[in-house]
Amino acid sequence: MRSLLHRMNPSVKFVLITVCMFTMAFFFDPVTPLLFWAGVLLMQILFSQTDWKKWLFFMIPFFIMAFGYFWTTLVFAKETVGPIIWSIRSVHVTELQLHHALSLSFRVLAFSSLSLLFALTTNPVTFILSLMQQLKLSPKIAYGILVGFQFLPVIKDEFIQIQQAQRLRGIVQKKNTLQRLLDTRLVLIPLLAGAVRKAERSAFAMEARGFTGERRGGFFHEILVDKVDAFLGVLFLFVLVLSCTNSFWLG
Amino acid sequence: MLKSWKLKEIVLMSLLAVVFGIVYLLFLHVGNIWAGFIGPIAYEWIFGIWFIVSIISMYIIRKPGAAVISETIAAAIEVLLGNAVGPRLILSGVIQGLGAEAVFAATRYKRFDIWILILAGVGSSVFSFAYGYLLGGFTVFSTGYVALMLGIRILSGALLAGVGGKAVADGLLATGSLRGYAISRPKKGDARA
- What's A85's DSSP letter? E
Residue B186: pLDDT band (50, 70, 90) is low
A69 part of a folded domain: yes
Q: Does a structural domain hold residue A219?
A: no
Model confidence pLDDT, tens digit, residues A75-112: 887 766 667 777 766 677 788 888 888 988 998 899 88
* Residue A73 belongs to domain spanning: 4-123+225-250
Same domain? For A86 and A179 the reply is no
Residues A118 and A192 in one domain: no
Predicted TM-score (pTM) of the model is: 0.85
Lowest-pLDDT range of A86-95, B7-16, B46-55: A86-95
| Nearest chain B Cα distance for residue A206, angstroms | 9
Interface contact flag, A213 B86, Cβ < 8 Å: no
User: Can you give the pLDDT at residue B122?
Assistant: 96
pLDDT at B138: 82
Give residue B23's pLDDT.
Answer: 81
Provide the chain A residues 49-88 that lie in CB contact (below 8 A) with chain B: 58-59, 61-62, 64-65, 67-69, 71-73, 76-79
Between A65 and B15, residue with greater pLDDT: B15
**Is A196 at the interface with chain B, CB within 8 A?**
yes
Residue ranges covered by each domain of chain B: 7-178
Cross-chain CB nearest to B15 (options A68, A148, A188): A148
In a domain, A200, yes or no: yes
Could you tell me what percent of chain A has a pLDDT over 90? 35
Residues A85 and A203 in one domain: no
Whether chain A has a CB inside 8 Å of the CB on B111: the answer is no
For residues A170 and A57, membership in a common domain is answered with no
Q: Does residue A231 form part of some domain?
A: yes
pLDDT, tens digit (0-9, with 9 covering 90-100), for B88-129: 788 889 999 999 999 999 999 988 999 999 999 999 999 999
Q: Are residues A71 and A102 in the same domain?
A: yes
pLDDT at A233 > cutoff 90:
yes
| Distance from the first to the final alpha carbon of chain B | 32
Q: Is A205 on the interface with B (CB under 8 A)?
A: no
The answer to whether B25 and A210 are in contact (CB under 8 A) is: no
Q: Are residues A118 and A76 in the same domain?
A: yes
In chain A, what residues touch B74 (CB-CB under 8 Å)?
none
CA distance A14 to chain B (A): 6
Is position A45 within any domain? Answer: yes
* Å between B41 CA and nearest CA of chain A: 9
Interface of A with B in 122-161 (CB under 8 A): 124, 127-128, 138, 140-141, 144-145, 147-149, 151-152, 155
- pLDDT, position A80: 66
Mean pLDDT across chain A, nearest whole number?
86
How far apart are alpha carbons A71 and A66 in whole angstroms?
9
pLDDT higher than threshold 90 for residue B54: yes
Q: What is the pLDDT of residue B113?
A: 92
**Backbone Cα Rg of chain A:** 24
- Are A15 and A110 contained in the same domain? yes
pLDDT of residue A90: 67
Chain A residues whose CB is inside 8 A of the B166 CB are: none
Average pLDDT over residues A155-174: 85
Q: For the ranges A165-179, B151-165, B166-180, which has the lowest average pLDDT?
A: A165-179
Cβ <8 Å between A58 and B84: yes
Does residue B84 surpass a pLDDT of 70? no
The complex's ipTM works out to: 0.86
Of A176-190, B60-74, B92-106, where does mean pLDDT reach its minimum? A176-190
- What phi and psi values does residue B40 have, to the nearest 5 degrees? -60, -15
pLDDT value of position B124: 95
User: Distance between CA A131 and CA A143 in Å, rounded?
Assistant: 11
Residue A154, pLDDT above cutoff 60: yes
pLDDT at B132 over 90: no
Mutation site for B-interface testing, chosen from A145, A152, A215 by largest number of B Cβ within 10 Å: A145
Residue B88: what pLDDT?
Answer: 79
Q: How far is CA B107 from the centre of its chain?
A: 18
CB of A192 within 8 Å of any CB in chain B? yes
Residues A28 and A145 in one domain: no
Please indicate, yes or no, whether residues A68 and A180 belong to a single structural domain of this protein. Answer: no
Residue A169 has pLDDT above 80, yes or no: yes
CB A130 within 8 A of CB A11: yes
A107 and A188 housed in the same domain: no
Of the partner residues A78, A79, A199, the one whose CB lies closest to the CB of residue B11: A199
Say whether A86 sits in a helix, a strand or coil: strand
C-alpha torsion angle, residues B112, B118, B122, B123 (rounded to 10): 0
The DSSP secondary structure of chain B, one letter per residue, reads -GGG--HHHHHHHHHHHHHHHHHHHHHHHHHHHHHHHHTTHHHHHHGGGGGHHHHHHHHHH--TTHHHHHHHHHHHHHHHTT-TTTTHHHHHHHHHHHHHHHHHHHTTT---SHHHHHHHHHHHHHHHHHHHHHHTTGGGB-HHHHHHHHHHHHHHIIIIIIIHHHHHHHHHHHTTTTTTSGGGSPPTTPPP-
Residue A133 falls within a domain, yes or no?
Answer: no
Interface of A with B in 158-187 (CB under 8 A): none
- B193, pLDDT greater than 60: no
More confident residue, B15 or A179: B15
The pLDDT of residue B168 is 92
For residue B188, the model assigns a pLDDT of 59
| Number of domains comprising chain A | 2
User: Residues A150, A71: one domain?
Assistant: no
Residues in A closer than 8 angstroms to B90, CB to CB, are 14
Residue A91 resides in a domain: yes
For A202-219, give one letter per residue: b (16+ CB within 10 A) or e. Answer: bbeebeeeeeebeeeeee
Average pLDDT of A8-33? 89
pLDDT of amino acid A246: 81
- Average pLDDT score over chain B: 87
Cα–Cα distance for residue pair B174/A196, rounded to 1 Å? 13
A54 and A82: one domain?
A: yes
pLDDT tens digits, residue range A44-73? 999 998 889 999 988 888 888 888 888 888
Query: Please, which pLDDT band fits residue A181 given cuts at 50, 70 and 90?
Result: low
Q: What integer pLDDT is reported at residue B1 of this predicted model? A: 62
| A21 closest CB neighbour out of B17, B38, B135 | B135
pLDDT above 70: percentage of residues in chain B:
93
Residues paired with A94 in a beta bridge: A84
CB-neighbour burial class of residue A169 (10 A; exposed 0-12, middle 13-18, buried 19+): exposed
Contact B2 A72 (CB under 8 A): no
**Does a structural domain hold residue A165?**
yes
- CA-nearest residue to B30 within chain A is A61
